[in-house]
Structure formats: C-alpha cells, structure tokens
Structure 1
Amino acid sequence: MNDLSNIQNFQEGHPVRVYLEENILTRKLFQELLQTNMQEDYQRFYNIFNQICEIEKHFARKENQLFPYLEKYGWTGPSQGMWAFHDQIREEIKFVRKKVEAKDSSDILNDAMSLFNSIDHLLQVEEGRLLPRALEMLNEDDWKEMYEGDKEIGWMFADAPVRYPEVKEEDYVHPSEDKKRRKLPFSLEDRTHFDEGYLTPEQVNFIFKFLPIDITYVDENDIVIFYNRGDDRVFPRSAGIIGREVKFCHPPKSVDQVLKILEEFKAGRQDTAEFWIQFKGKFIHIRYFAIRDEEKNYKGVIEMSQDITDIKKLEGDKRLLDWA
C-alpha cells in the first residue's frame, strides 16, 4: 500500500490518491503553460495559470487536514518545515500572478519555470517522504474521516473526487450530527459537541466575552434570550432585557424597522439586513441575520454591532508584529 509509483494501488477517492492525482494535474498544467506564448495567446496562458493557482487548495488540505493527523502521532515536522515551504511558494505565485494580470510578458517563461521548479520539488518531497510516512502512521479510520474536512476546503479539480470510503445515502451522517468520539488530547467531560469541536460552558462564555462584536439573540417568538457582555460594548445592555420582547428593547423611532426585519425574516423573503451609523464619534456597522434550522424553519435573529472606525482606515498589508 505504501508504493506510490502506481496510483491504482489506491482506491478512488482515497486522500493519498487524490493528492497524487493533483500532482499529476499540476505537472500537466505547467507543461501546457510553458508551451503557451503569453503574448500570442494571453487568455489561454491566463486560464492555465489560474488553474495552477488552485494548488492553494492542495496546500490548505495538507495544512488543515493531513498535518493535524500527523501531529496526533507525534510527527510535527511537516507542520513547520513544509508549511513554510508552502508560504514561500505562495509568495512566488503572487509574484507571477501580478505579472500575468498586468500582461507583463517580460521573462515570464523563466518566472514560470522557476515557480514550477519550486512546486515540483515540493511534490517530490510529498511523494518520496510525506505521503509514504503518512501511510505508515495513519490508520484506515483516519483516512476515512478526512472527506468532510477536505470537501470544505476543496480540490484542484472541477468536480469533487468520489467519497472515500463510498457510503450509501442512507448511511450518510452530516458533520453536525456526527457524535463519534475520536481520540483527542483533552477530556470531553463537561463539554458540548458543536458543529466543529467541543467546548466547556466556560470556554463558550470566554468566546462571547472577548469577541469585539456586540451580539444579541432574539428567538422565534421575538424574545431576547441572550446578549454577550463584553468590556467595550457599542450599545449598553443590561440583564433586564433577557426575556423581554425585542420591540421593547429599541427606541420608538427604530421599532418599525425592527418589526419589518422580523416580518421579512419570518416570511423567508430576506435573510440579512445591515445598517451603518455615526455614533459617539465612531463608525458602527449593524447587521441582522435570520437563523434557520436544517429544515429552513425560522429560529430567530442575531443582531451584531461592531465599531469599525479603525478597520475602515486600514490599507496595504501588515504581516509583522509591532510590539515595540
């Protein structure tokens, strides 16, 4: 099973086979790119290069799916060394992309060849060391668990690979309903299983307390059932609003708009509403989101308010800490 020289050794949809198929596709795309004259057929060159850029999904699946499993068995090297190599290649892709989008063909084939050499070296490391060792370390259940997370990130292909292992429709379990307890480095005692992950009540409270956003949850009966108590709330709230009808929690001049939002959300005609206002020298962004269950039944509304005064001023990039 550890022989990667023959892709047929792996069942269709197996994560290792998918990685290998993407490697084959990547090399094929580079061959086509390097045979294309950018000046003579810019659109073709542009389209092929965009397909190559989909390798970001290949990287992201490794970083967020494969590497965590390897860490579980004590191999942390890929999470450090190979991830850094991913970031280096991302910078090279960004450099070439700028030239392609600017239709700057000067030395473009040499730039593309340099990018190919970096990526091909990475793929060789995958095929020669990463994937063979992953096959030795991970068990079959590990590989079977990867599909849903892989699907969230995506693949380089236009169509998703077949599910591995193939399951009958009646056997399918949505991730939010998946209660299987996997080996984790923490106890599940006093924790609730959310769509992704497990949290204690204290941790849930920490999340809401430290989010730099005001959140208020109104249930399907228009009753306020929750708000987060942060240190820097945009709008003041007190425990007295819990259990009140939401129309009594807004100033009279805005009640009509609140009731209109609730009416449209309940009718299913709208799912979001947003406003922005100047308030006490700050620029405030206010959003309402309709909450619905999996059967699309209305379950209430979340109101979120955020001070975005400083966010609106951001420009360019900031990639380094400035903790002087």
Structure 2
Amino acid sequence: MKMEDKHKKLIEYCQGIYKKENGKELYDKYIGYIEKITPQDLVFIENEQLKMGMSASEMLTYVDKLINVFYKYLSKYPWERPKDGEFLYYLIKENNELVKRLEKFKPVIKDNASLNFKDKLSEFIEEIQLYNEHILKLENILFPYMEKKKEQFNGFKIMWALHDKIRFQIKELKRILKEPSYDKKEAIKILGKLYFGLYGLVQKQELILFPAATEVLNETDLNQMHIQSFDYEFSYIDKPKYPIQGHEKQEDANKGIFLATSTGNLTIEQIKAILDIVPLDMTLVDENDKVAYFSKPVDRLFPRSPAVIGRDVRNCHPPDSVHIVEDILLSFKSGKEEKAEFWIKLKGMFIYIQYFALRDKNGRYIGTLELSQEVSKIRELKGERRLLEWR
C-alpha cells in the first residue's frame, strides 16, 4: 500500500464523515485503510484538510467521530513509552492526575442538589484551571519542536482550537458562578461539555501526540524541552529536580563583544541585562515571519519558550486569530502601516500591546517587533513624584 494512496483514501473518508454521508457505508468502503492508520497518518490528513481550506473550528465539529472510529487501531499502535525524568513522562503524569480529579468530582455532580454544590464547583474549577500550565507546555514547547521536524505537524492547530474551547468553558463557568442567583442548570450543562473536552484532550495526546513525538524527537530535543518546561508550573505533580546544565562556555564566548552605535557602545552582557530588566514583553519576528527573539523579563505577561525560535509566527497564535496576525504582517510589508496597537484586560491587568514594522536604512522591511506592557499602575498615576522622592 503506497503511503500517498493511503493518505488520499483516509482524507476521502474524513471528508465523507464531515459531509455526514452514511457512516457504515464509508467504514466498509475504507476499512482497509482505516485499520492501518498510525498517529502520524492522522496528523498528516488533518493538516492536509487544513491546507484544503478547512478551519480548525470546522474540523473540531467531527474530529471526535473520527477518533471513535480510529480508536481501536490507534490504541494498539506500538510506541516507546517515555522514561522517568523525560519531558513526556511528566506530561503523562499530569494527565493521570487530571483524570483522577475528574473522576473524584463525579459523585459531587450527581449530588448537585446539596446546598454547598456551588462552593464545591467553584473550588473544582479553580483546581481544573491549573491544567492550563500543562496545555501551555504543549503549545509553547512540544508543538514548536514537532513543527520543525515535519510540516505535517502544523495539524496540531486543531488541538490548539480544542484548548481554546476548554479555556472558554472554564471562563464561562467562572462567570456563571459569580452571579448571586447562578443558573445551576446552565453550569452543569457547560460542566458536562468541559468534562467531555478534557477527557478527549487527554485521549488525543496519548493516542496521537505523544506516540508521534517519540518517533520524531531525539534525546537532545527531549532534554532541551524538559529544561524549558521549568518556565511553567507542573500541574498536580511535584516539581521535578532541575537538570544540571552548564552555560559558562557560551557566556565566556560573549565577553568582549560589543555593539557600537552613534550614541555609545554596549557589551553583550549589558544588552542582555537591559533587555531582561525592561518591563516589556518583547518578541521579534524576522522578515520571513519566523520568531527570532523574545525577552525574558521577571514578570513576563505571555508565556514564551526557546522552542518557539524559528517557528512560523502564525503557529504561535490560536487558530481563530491567525488571520489578524497575517493582516498586520501584510500591512507592514506593503508599507501601508508602520504600527498597530491594542489594549486588553487580562487576569486583573490592563495590557497595552504594540506592533512595529522594522526597516533597514533603505526602508526595506526586516521584521516586526511586538511589545506588551502591563500599564495598570501607569494609568493610575496622579500629580508628581520628583527625583528627590525616589525612595
């Protein structure tokens, strides 16, 4: 069986499901291909459908039907489980702990007539929200590494769309629970969808994502990813021991190097110190739309990991907002715009976001700089505070 033929037939099957054709007839017609599906096959055909013009949101409407059909064969797929101390090992542990919490709360849902159900549900949602750290490690570490291995792994946009759906459901539940006379029926309805989404997400990771990852990532990749994971919290598990790494050689190599400008000279050490102390999230996207640099201030607003270096900036954003990113980049490249700005409220913060087109001395576009700053305190300033009053 040629790989091209296999993928073509599997795509035909998926499209038939999407168009709501007779499921049994489709299954009988394509069973010879379905029973030979692998995790990487599934990611490939998902990415091909995205390239055909389907959106991640559209694919979410029927992807669970596909997983139900493919489950029998994917669950038997042989793959090497990660060892204790590896990046994927801790992701699986986090999933196991999430499932334990979901199972533990089921009796509380059944007994929702109790007077303290609202309080218990609020506590549960706060606990479930901790799983977002796990999700961020997928989006900012694992996905970028895999995208660099094979173009087909751009298909994980569908999983990212599921992440955003889960985040929205949690946000909706928190909103409902804040209301004095909350709608219990609506809360339980959304909670059911959240349960379905979380169980499905764990299943997709362990049937598709993790097996595919073990086939394309090498030991160096996994070690680097594990180190980068310490920039995030560990959901429901104790923080592992940080691996010993040496950076002295790189730091020694930078000594004596400086940047000469018309207004003075800066050493590499000074430049790094400045970039890391300025209270701004800075991300540089080069002229080819690849992430080239990001700063690491003490209180970074949006998570970034070294894994994103070299990543297409489109893959750094949720699927539903990619078209806006593309519009900004096209406006900068054409010279139509030089700046874009936004401001949002997030987790009690007021964040000011700016995008600037970067150009060389001849006006040629060489990239985009993104700056994000928490400006709540600045907006509240009144009167004056003079230099002599700095303490």
Name the one with the larger helix percent. 2
Higher relative contact order (CA 8 A, sep 6+): 2
